[in-house]
Structure 1
Amino acid sequence: MDFIAIDFETANRYPNSACSLGIVYVKNHQIIEEKYFLIQPPSMKFDRKNMDVHGITPEAVKDAPKFDEVWKTIGQDFDGTMIIAHNAYFDMSVLSACLKEYGISVPNLNYCCSIPISNRAIKGQRVRQSLKERTNYFGIALEEHHHALADARACAELVLKSIEASGQSSFANYLDAHPSLPIKRLSKLKPMYAFSKEKAPAAKPFNKTVKISDIQPTIDIDERLPLFGKNFVLTGDLDSMDRTDAMQAIVNFGGILKSGVSKKTDYLIIGRQDKTVVGDKGISSKERKARELQENGSPIELLDETRFLRLLAEASSITSIK
């Protein structure tokens, strides 16, 4: 097997609440098999915003197998296999949480995200990280977006198109040609405590979304954390969590939220932009200012969503959200 592409949908904001799973098997540069499962989550609490995204209701899964039953039929496929997902941190957090929920041993697998995989094929062109934008760039039909099997298939096709665009003959050759790809072990994952996968509303000015003063730590802050005392500014919306959750995570890990970019800014988190607000180039005024400051010697770091999630994961490895 070259790799397996997967996609989970969840009933609510907690990663153990998987309610569907799509799996696409790729061998010799071809999709050879597909599987789709509805899953009954351990709690039948479905958030309305999740249902609005994927359309799965409690009624649809009331007779579906639970994850441990599903795993009995697919677990052997995952052992020793490369797993790929779009925004893999989300799907791997779901897989990890579901395994833990049912006391299942973590399989021996590596995983990688299709975002950095496709980044290598895009070669510096500014294409947004969402599955919809990436598949559109490569001319891949994305039907029934947020249906787990449709998204898993689109993810697999995105990887295959990336390989072709780079002139490589196989997935193995593509990995050899790009040794910097972040391939990780599931056993080393520090999953998020909670998140939201649904797409956020169109970007709004930061101060109108939520007041910074409303975000206060909900845990005792550990001063050892790498985020402690660092100034953070957000621009745009994230695909893996809503803005309030991102702000709360930053504050809980000791970061300081700021509404505007300045010389004192340590990190600018760059999310998905609404072009009707920021213009056709998709670059916000905050990002433009941050880049100008960088050119003038400011050490401000610009983080896309993947790097931001990695930063949170690093902080979570020191202390976890309770």
Structure 2
Amino acid sequence: MLDFVAIDFETANSGRDSPCSLGAVIVKNGTIEKTFYSLIHPHDSCFYFDPFNTEIHGITEDDVMDSPELPEVWKNLVDDLSGSTLIAHFSSFDCSVIRYTFPLYDLSFPECTILCSRNVAKRQWPDLLSYGLSNVAELLNFDFIHHNALEDAKAAAAIIFEAARLQNANSCEELAQKLQLKMGLFQTDQYIPSRRLSPRSSKSIKIPECLDLTNPELNPDDYPFWDRDVVFTGTLLSMKREDAFKNIAAAGGRPQNAVNKKTDYLVMGEQDYSRFSNGEKSSKTIKAEELKAKGSAIEIISEADFLNMLGDKVTIPQNTSSDFKDEIYLKGIQPKFDESLETLRQICAEVIEPQRIKMNQRKYFAVIELDGNKGMPICCFFTKGNSVSIAFYDENNNQMERCIMYKYDALYDNSFDLKNLIRKYLGIPLEKPPYEDGLVHVRRRGTRIEFSIDLEQLQAQKKEE
């Protein structure tokens, strides 16, 4: 029988221990028996709403102030989930919410198997460009409101229904078997993730043809990665991994898929670099650190550093297909991106002499350097949605601060705060805010500073002036 419980958590912030809503679809014998939805008051230890998360799902602190905490909410699903199959799209996220939040309340893990609807979609429809929930739902002509927990759970359930129909599968176990998927498992004190049985074909990227380093006509000084072995980990924002390999080869280096004793550089994509800063490390990072401890000359560098080293040797235009597949969306953000970068350059120029500023711009990614390689680089890029992310690095490319503006206009209205951050790192005295206290809301989270501004109040104040 096709029995399962499709769930979806939304979180208040980047911490997996901060669920703020839960949606569930309970399916018995191939039919939706009931649905469930509730807001959740996060645990006091992690009660913080990241503006970025709120921008996505629309839930605020005020919304959950009188809502029950997780134990009270979860008891509505205990009986239905026990002995059944938990379905979630990108199940590792939702399962990590359970893994990190349940211990806060001394709750036992549910007794159930796990199947990821994203993995199901990858096996069932292998030619899709993206397997995000909205993309797969569009393929199924399933209308829903993305990032509403119940709506997302319904969409995940719809994927299982359609895949089971096409595979003529009468249970989740049979569906997993036919699609060569290994079901995960939750037990009282154990978690085994759902996964695909065979490795992804894209795991190892074909090594492009490299330069002939024995050619006497080639000048090593013209090639920034001359005779260097380079490995990548994480997701690059500036280009696809295949294009990064080609760039390394064109710059005189040898791109590789795995870290070993010969590796000279490990380039960490943005996702891995942020994980690294928070203490979580990829297997490649761990291997690199082990080699470093044994005396290897391997160096871990950021994507910004990688782009700086390439300089004019970038031969493949940036490809953002992994994050931005909608050409209409691309055409919409390009003018805003160019305009915002120019604004950021002007902001820098108001703090220090313009000749000390160097901009290395790609299509949707840019690096702004102060005082060249010896100064402070500022890495500016866009995430999907109307948000700007600006990261500040020290001379060793260690991320010091990170600002996220959640509207394009905020780059202009928060220019004062950006100037003061730049002044801070250059040792220049800070300026007094040109507006009243309370208009700008600042939050610090680890190495990241997030701030937003009440534009209506600011506009009203300007009118009064």
**Superposition map of 1:1-322 within 5 A:** 2-43=3-44, 44-122=47-125, 124-141=126-143, 143-178=144-179, 180-187=180-187, 188-189=190-191, 204-205=237-238, 242=271, 244-246=273-275, 248=277, 249-250=281-282, 253-255=286-288, 256=300, 272-275=322-325, 276=327
Distance across 1 between alignment mates of 2:155 and 2:111 = 25
| CA positional deviation for 1:72 | 2.7
Q: Percent identity?
A: 29
Closer/same/farther in 2, CA of residues 247 and 133 from structure 1, 3 Å limit:
farther
| CA positional deviation for 1:76 | 2.2
CA RMSD of superposed structures (Å): 3.3
Partner of 1:59: helix, strand, or coil? Answer: helix
Distance across 1 between alignment mates of 2:31 and 2:259 = 43
Distance across 2 between alignment mates of 1:29 and 1:190 = 25
| CA positional deviation for 1:37 | 0.9
Closer/same/farther in 2, CA of residues 258 and 97 from structure 1, 3 Å limit:
closer
Distance across 1 between alignment mates of 2:131 and 2:72 = 33
CA contact (8 A) 1:127 1:134 kept: no
Distance across 2 between alignment mates of 1:190 and 1:53 = 29
Residues 61-111 of structure 1: per-residue CA shift (max 9 Å, x gap): 110000111123322222212101000000000012221110011221111
CA contact (8 A) 1:18 1:94 kept: yes
Residues 185-242 of structure 1: per-residue CA shift (max 9 Å, x gap): 1244389xxxxxxxxxxx8416xxxxxxxxxxxxxxxxxxx9787776677x8xxxx5
Partner of 1:189: helix, strand, or coil? Answer: strand
- Paired position in structure 2 for 1:222: none
Closer/same/farther in 2, CA of residues 204 and 96 from structure 1, 3 Å limit:
closer
Closer/same/farther in 2, CA of residues 168 and 109 from structure 1, 3 Å limit:
closer
Distance across 1 between alignment mates of 2:12 and 2:155 = 22
CA contact (8 A) 2:3 2:172 kept: yes
Distance across 1 between alignment mates of 2:74 and 2:164 = 30
Closer/same/farther in 2, CA of residues 134 and 227 from structure 1, 3 Å limit:
farther
Q: Work out which structure has the larger RCO, using CA pairs closer than 8 Å and 6 or more positions apart in sequence.
A: 1
Distance across 2 between alignment mates of 1:94 and 1:177 = 29
CA contact (8 A) 1:121 1:163 kept: no
Equivalences, count: 233
Closer/same/farther in 2, CA of residues 92 and 205 from structure 1, 3 Å limit:
same
| CA positional deviation for 1:181 | 0.8
Distance across 1 between alignment mates of 2:122 and 2:268 = 22
CA contact (8 A) 1:228 1:253 kept: no
> TM-score, length-normalised on structure 1?
0.63
CA contact (8 A) 2:185 2:192 kept: no
Unaligned segments of structure 2, at least 5 residues: 194-235, 240-257, 289-299, 307-319, 331-465
CA contact (8 A) 1:88 1:114 kept: yes
CA contact (8 A) 1:4 1:83 kept: yes
Closer/same/farther in 2, CA of residues 228 and 35 from structure 1, 3 Å limit:
farther
> TM-score, length-normalised on structure 2?
0.45
Distance across 2 between alignment mates of 1:115 and 1:271 = 19
Partner of 2:77: helix, strand, or coil? Answer: helix
Closer/same/farther in 2, CA of residues 71 and 55 from structure 1, 3 Å limit:
same
Unaligned segments of structure 1, at least 5 residues: 192-202, 207-225, 261-269, 280-322
Aligned amino acid, residue 35 of structure 2: E
| CA positional deviation for 1:115 | 1.3
| CA positional deviation for 1:165 | 2.5
Closer/same/farther in 2, CA of residues 258 and 190 from structure 1, 3 Å limit:
farther
Partner of 1:16: helix, strand, or coil? Answer: coil
Distance across 2 between alignment mates of 1:246 and 1:271 = 23
